[in-house]
């Protein structure tokens, strides 16, 4: 069975500071990895995904993530955050093929302070 | 743009009522999903469907059922609502191939309160 652990439930940062949101996964098979963002009172939207190829993945809104197979991690980073990045971020894993089910982490609430 | 709509943003029901949550997608996606979202637990899969009239249980199916009579519509049914089903319910869809493969598109969610 697959599982995802997001190591921080809340991350406060100042505007224009860098941020890293941590994600570790557990799986006995190869995986696809995702980061989704949920802005207040909205559904989730995809930030980026890793399916294969380069382990450094670039997404929307200046975010990027690096797949580290040996450490089973997929941490999300942004070099300089804005107030508009305030949201909840979810890491998720899926098994290649099949029904494309996602297993989500618990979420990390990112708060940007001016 | 892919659009996933859910019938209600907010819903208040009484214990024991039968509750229907509707989800419609407009991109001819094969797969559709129902999740519930609770603070500190993330999203958990209730049921999913990979074709009309086909369904499979997710991780927390107890107390729920689903219906998919048409490709674009996926309904979640709470047979007898209970207070522990108070939650945010999110519907999602995805295509099986092509550029959008493995990207799930989410609706805005229905916040259900059972009193």
**Structure token digits, residue B100:** 């959008």
Residue A30's pLDDT is 84
- Identify the residue whose tokens are 């224009």: A16
Mean pLDDT of the residues in chain B: 93
B60 inside 8 A of chain A by CB? no
Which residue in B30, B37, B12, B19 sits closest to B109, CA to CA? B37
**For B43-84, how does the pLDDT look when each residue is reduced to its tens digit (9 = 90+)?**
999 999 998 989 999 999 999 999 999 999 999 999 999 999
Residue A14's pLDDT is 97
Chain A residues with CB under 8 Å of B99 CB are none
- Cβ within 8 Å, pair A99-B31: yes
Out of A43, A101, A104, closest to residue B109 by CB = A43
Choose, out of B8, B54, B102, B107, the residue to mutate when testing the contact with A (most A CBs < 10 Å): B102
pLDDT, average across residues B32-53: 94
Out of B40, B102, B108, closest to residue A51 by CB = B102
In SS3 terms, chain A reads as: CCEEEECCCEEEEECCCCEEECEEEECCCCCEEEEEEECCCCCEEEEEEECCCCCEEECHHHCEEEEECCCCEEEEEECCCCHHHCEEEEEEEECCCCCCCCEECCCEEEEEEC
**For A33-70, how does the pLDDT look when each residue is reduced to its tens digit (9 = 90+)?**
999 999 988 899 999 999 888 999 999 999 999 999 99
Residue B102's pLDDT is 77
Evaluate whether A1 touches A101 at the Cβ level (below 8 Å).
Answer: no
């Amino acid at each position: 069975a697959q599982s995802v652990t997001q190591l921080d439930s809340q991350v406060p940062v100042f505007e224009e500071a860098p941020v890293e949101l941590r994600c570790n996964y557990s799986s006995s098979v190869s995986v696809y990895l995702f980061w989704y963002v949920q802005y207040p009172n909205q559904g989730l939207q995809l930030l980026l995904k890793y399916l294969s190829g380069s382990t450094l993945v670039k997404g929307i809104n200046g975010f990027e993530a690096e797949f580290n197979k040996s450490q089973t991690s997929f941490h999300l980073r942004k070099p300089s955050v804005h107030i508009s990045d305030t949201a909840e971020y979810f890491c998720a894993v899926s098994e290649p093929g099949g029904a494309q089910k996602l297993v989500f982490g618990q979420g990390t609430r990112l708060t940007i302070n001016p | 743009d892919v659009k996933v709509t859910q019938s209600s943003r907010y819903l208040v029901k009484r214990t024991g009522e039968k509750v229907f949550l509707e989800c419609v997608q407009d991109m001819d996606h094969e797969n559709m999903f129902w999740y519930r979202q609770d603070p500190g637990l993330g999203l958990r899969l209730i049921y999913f469907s990979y074709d009309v009239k086909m369904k499979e249980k997710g991780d927390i199916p107890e107390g729920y059922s689903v219906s998919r009579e048409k490709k674009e519509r996926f309904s979640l049914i709470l047979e007898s609502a209970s207070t522990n089903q108070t939650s945010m319910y999110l519907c999602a869809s995805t295509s099986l191939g092509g550029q959008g493969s493995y990207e799930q598109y989410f609706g805005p969610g229905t916040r259900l309160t059972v009193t």
